[in-house]
Structure 1
Amino acid sequence: MKTITYLKGDATNPQTEGNKIITHICNDIGGWGKGFVLAISNRWKNPENEYRKWFQNSENFTLGEIQIVQVEEDIFVCNMIGQHKTITNSKGILPIRYEAVEKCLEKLANEALKLKASIHMPRIGCGLAGGKWEEIEPIIERTLLKNNVEVYVYDFE
């Protein structure tokens, strides 16, 4: 089985040949404005615009759904709804929804295979969503790696 390749650098600037999908986690309330999405918006306007349109149309805008937006000839951005709201609730429940992330990554695996694309991401779900990488990593193994998709995880310096 493939393993995750860890790189130092910027996930919005993937360093491999061929088609690339940059993936990240979005919330289910239409909010875009903090964290990694800002790095995406600094490079391309389309992923944010498409996410906002998707939210307004409400069609399939639910946890576990994905949206693929082409931003360059060989680069796509995948908006994955894997976060419920944006803040930890009064019971201490974090925004991250691991089961939604898993559904998203299963769908992403199919898209990556169709596009013959590698996947590039920061440590998704571990910033504002409050998730733990020890939980996310096995999900990536069960979904993307099991389907022989190349995965690159970037740690921003």
Structure 2
Amino acid sequence: MDLKIEYVHGDATRPQGTGRKIIAHVCNDVGGWGAGFVLALSQRWPEPEASYRRWYRERATSGFALGQVRLVEVEDDLWVANIVGQHGIRTRAGGGTAPVRYEAIGTALDALGARAAVLGASVHMPRIGCGLAGGHWDSVEPLVTRHLTRRGIPTAVYDRA
């Protein structure tokens, strides 16, 4: 069942609708948590940050790497998906490559789509990979379509009102 991405004006930390929900966002691969959308998550729930930091700290044995995703339950029927889809934290001065890693985001979204299907959950997100990661939505949107909506996973993308 092919669905379309629903674009919503609102706050992705307060996903709309009923049923089980997953809030997806992109994290970096260097253990940094302190700017961008993660701040809004941390204001609502301590668990996503604590899980991410522990996952990173134990990276030698935890499977923490680009392209991985970890779901953290924050309320009944609500999870946050920490997606490792950003290499480093800043674009280098004078141009350089943006930290976003589209292939890693695609790999993680594929795994997230499988988990969402098992849970019977919808997925909610800001325009992942397009803030501090320096990505472009015209490159991320096809990944969201391929790995979520084409699999029948209801997906909402939130833009701040």
TM-score (norm 1): 0.98
SS of equivalent residue, structure 1 residue 135:
helix
Match of 1:73 in 2: 76
The counterpart of 2:65, out of the listed 62, 65, 68, is 62
Q: 1:40, CA displacement in angstroms?
A: 0.3
SS of equivalent residue, structure 2 residue 141:
helix
- Structure 2 Cα separation of the partners of residues 57 and 136 of structure 1: 29
The counterpart of 1:99, out of the listed 97, 103, 110, is 103
The gaps in structure 1 that reach 5 residues or longer are: none
Task: Spell out, residue by residue over 1:75-114, the C-alpha distance to the aligned partner (whole angstroms, 9 max, x if none).
Answer: 1000000000001136611000000000000000000001
Superposition RMSD in Å: 0.9
Match of 2:126 in 1: 122
Which region of structure 1 is more displaced relative to structure 2, 84-93 or 109-118?
84-93
In the alignment, is residue 145 of structure 1 matched against residue 133 of structure 2?
Answer: no
Indicate the percent of aligned positions where both proteins have the same amino acid: 50
Q: 1:56, CA displacement in angstroms?
A: 0.5
Counterpart amino acid of residue 78 in structure 2: I
Match of 1:28 in 2: 29
Q: 1:47, CA displacement in angstroms?
A: 0.3
- Structure 1 Cα separation of the partners of residues 49 and 75 of structure 2: 15
Q: 1:9, CA displacement in angstroms?
A: 0.4
The gaps in structure 2 that reach 5 residues or longer are: none
